Chains A and B, each alone.
Chain A
């Protein structure tokens, strides 16, 4: 999986994969190459999860009705 594909993982997907990676690395038959590959993958996932948690800023949008009965969203700012 390329760096870009990893970047596009949701936090949930990355977090779950990290848990699975840890479990696989901790148990089961693995060649050394496989173990190293899993470890490296795990490190990428840790960085990704960390980055997502660190960098996130709450985004708030508001649902607005369209003239034709549909809806669109606009950024929402709470009035001070």
Chain B
């Protein structure tokens, strides 16, 4: 605003004599305002040869850019010097970016450089090597810093361009290989001047605002210049500072970027990064099925073992059972009974024989035996008593007379002691 009003008033003054002189400071400020208002000079790339390059105690760098026609005084502030992967050296041909303004004290105009790149062939390679060396020395690529990837990530961050083929490749691989995973895309430019800062911010955003378990940083194949954003220190530091492991998949197999060195795992391509990031679903399924079979087998084995021991126990139990004893005792009883039987029979036989002997002896002693020889037995008819004395009967009394083959009745006729027996 003020610049415009100054311009207008001074333009008017160009057409007439100046009414009053300007101070040196006013002139200088006026020139400065002219330069500062020029958009070409405020965003300038200039190419030239470096001479008299020096970094002073304050950390700022001073040098001159020149070609065969002119020279340009250059300043690079400390903060920009620090960001520089590679500081220029005298005699080098460089591309410098910055703005032109006036250093009022000296009354000179200067090139305020914020970035210097080597010009010409090999420039990028030299810068790459220099940055790699510097970060390597700082320990950013140390193996001990590398974290292992989670075996079963739940959420996976992907830092890449939302419209790139690389993203499609990654999503295809993830869907085929492990569709369980949830993807959080953190979109970014992947080439151009703004890409490094965006890539770094995209990694940071995933770390700060999501709970991803790992991050893929990817870009499809391209020229060295197209991949250049991944050779930026800011990207490397964002990867190293990431809370979760980072897998890089930039370009093709042959392309190595600073991001690859900084990453916890380097994959040759975006698809390969996706492959490394997740386990294989088909393999897992096979393992789960194998586990299922092992479970059934193990249970079966245990049950079989139990059944076997149960069988042994049963046999042991049977061996201890009283049934056996009972059976033995019963047998003994049978034996005894049999023995008893034999004894009894023997005893009976013996007795029978004894009895027979006695019977025959009895038979010889039987009074009836004498009847055979003509004797008779007389008994009273009324009482049946055997009459052995005359005094036992009276005359006229009936008696029964037993003879060898029968009995007949008789009557007592006469009695006399001794010789007075009637007959017989």
Q: How far is B186's CA from A23's CA once the two chains are assembled, in angstroms?
A: 41
Query: Using a CB-CB cutoff of 8 Å, which residues 362-391 of chain B contact chain A?
Result: none
A6 at the interface (CB under 8 A from B): no
Please give, as numbers and ranges, the residues of chain A lying within 8 Å of B163 by CB-CB distance: 79
Interface centre among B163, B181, B206, B295 (most CB of A within 10 A): B295
Q: How many A-B residue pairs have CB under 8 A?
A: 111
Query: Using a CB-CB cutoff of 8 Å, which residues 45-69 of chain A contact chain B?
Result: 46, 49-50, 52-53, 56-63, 65
B330 at the interface (CB under 8 A from A): no
Contact with A along B139-160 (1 / 0, CB 8 A): 0000000000001101000000
Contact with A along B157-189 (1 / 0, CB 8 A): 000001100011001001100011111111100
Query: Using a CB-CB cutoff of 8 Å, which residues 202-217 of chain B contact chain A?
Result: 202, 205-206, 208-210
Q: Closest residue of chain A to B178, judged by CB?
A: A56
Q: Give B82 Cβ to nearest chain A Cβ, in Å.
A: 26
Q: Give B400 Cβ to nearest chain A Cβ, in Å.
A: 101
Query: Using a CB-CB cutoff of 8 Å, which residues 25-76 of chain A contact chain B?
Result: 25-26, 30, 32, 35-36, 39, 42-43, 46, 49-50, 52-53, 56-63, 65, 70-71, 73, 76
Which of A15, A36, A61, A76 contacts B284 (CB under 8 A)?
A15
Q: Give B197 Cβ to nearest chain A Cβ, in Å.
A: 14
Interface of A is mostly: helix
Asked if A39 contacts B152 (CB within 8 A), the reply is no
Q: How far is B185's CA from A61's CA once the two chains are assembled, in angstroms?
A: 6
Given contacts A22-B294, A26-B294, A43-B295, contact A63 B187 (CB under 8 A): yes
Asked if A60 contacts B183 (CB within 8 A), the reply is yes
B339 at the interface (CB under 8 A from A): no
Q: How far is B188's CA from A65's CA once the two chains are assembled, in angstroms?
A: 12
Asked if A35 contacts B168 (CB within 8 A), the reply is no
Asked if B288 contacts A46 (CB within 8 A), the reply is yes
Stretch at the interface among B63-71, B85-93, B299-307, B402-410: B299-307
Which of A12, A35, A49 contacts B288 (CB under 8 A)?
A49
Q: Closest residue of chain B to A61, judged by CB?
A: B184
Given contacts A53-B281, A78-B167, A79-B163, contact A10 B154 (CB under 8 A): yes
Asked if B184 contacts A25 (CB within 8 A), the reply is no
Q: How far is B302's CA from A46's CA once the two chains are assembled, in angstroms?
A: 20
Q: Give A71 Cβ to nearest chain B Cβ, in Å.
A: 4
Interface residues of B, CB < 8 Å — how many?
Answer: 41
Please give, as numbers and ranges, the residues of chain B lying within 8 Å of A58 by CB-CB distance: 171, 174-175, 179, 181, 183
Q: How far is B303's CA from A53's CA once the two chains are assembled, in angstroms?
A: 31
Given contacts A11-B180, A58-B174, A62-B185, contact A35 B295 (CB under 8 A): no
Asked if B174 contacts A35 (CB within 8 A), the reply is no
B292 at the interface (CB under 8 A from A): yes
Please give, as numbers and ranges, the residues of chain B lying within 8 Å of A57 by CB-CB distance: 175, 179
Please give, as numbers and ranges, the residues of chain A lying within 8 Å of B289 by CB-CB distance: 46, 50
Q: How far is B180's CA from A62's CA once the two chains are assembled, in angstroms?
A: 17
Asked if B298 contacts A53 (CB within 8 A), the reply is no
Which of A22, A60, A61, A73 contacts B295 (CB under 8 A)?
A22
B285 at the interface (CB under 8 A from A): yes
Q: How far is B174's CA from A59's CA once the two chains are assembled, in angstroms?
A: 10
Q: Give A62 Cβ to nearest chain B Cβ, in Å.
A: 5
Interface centre among B183, B281, B285, B299 (most CB of A within 10 A): B299
Given contacts A63-B209, A76-B185, contact A32 B179 (CB under 8 A): no
Q: How far is B175's CA from A30's CA once the two chains are assembled, in angstroms?
A: 41
Please give, as numbers and ranges, the residues of chain B lying within 8 Å of A79 by CB-CB distance: 163
Q: How far is B182's CA from A35's CA once the two chains are assembled, in angstroms?
A: 36
Which of B180, B206, B295 contacts A56 (CB under 8 A)?
B180
Asked if B291 contacts A32 (CB within 8 A), the reply is no
Please give, as numbers and ranges, the residues of chain B lying within 8 Å of A61 by CB-CB distance: 182-185
A7 at the interface (CB under 8 A from B): no
Q: What would 21 A/B residue contacts be, using CB atoms closer than 8 Å?
A: A11-B180, A22-B291, A22-B295, A26-B298, A32-B303, A36-B299, A39-B298, A42-B291, A42-B295, A43-B295, A53-B284, A58-B171, A58-B175, A60-B184, A62-B184, A63-B187, A63-B209, A71-B205, A71-B209, A73-B210, A76-B185
Asked if A63 contacts B302 (CB within 8 A), the reply is no
Please give, as numbers and ranges, the residues of chain A lying within 8 Å of B171 by CB-CB distance: 58, 60, 78
Asked if A11 contacts B184 (CB within 8 A), the reply is no
Asked if A53 contacts B186 (CB within 8 A), the reply is no
Q: Closest residue of chain A to B180, judged by CB?
A: A56
Please give, as numbers and ranges, the residues of chain A lying within 8 Å of B209 by CB-CB distance: 63, 70-71
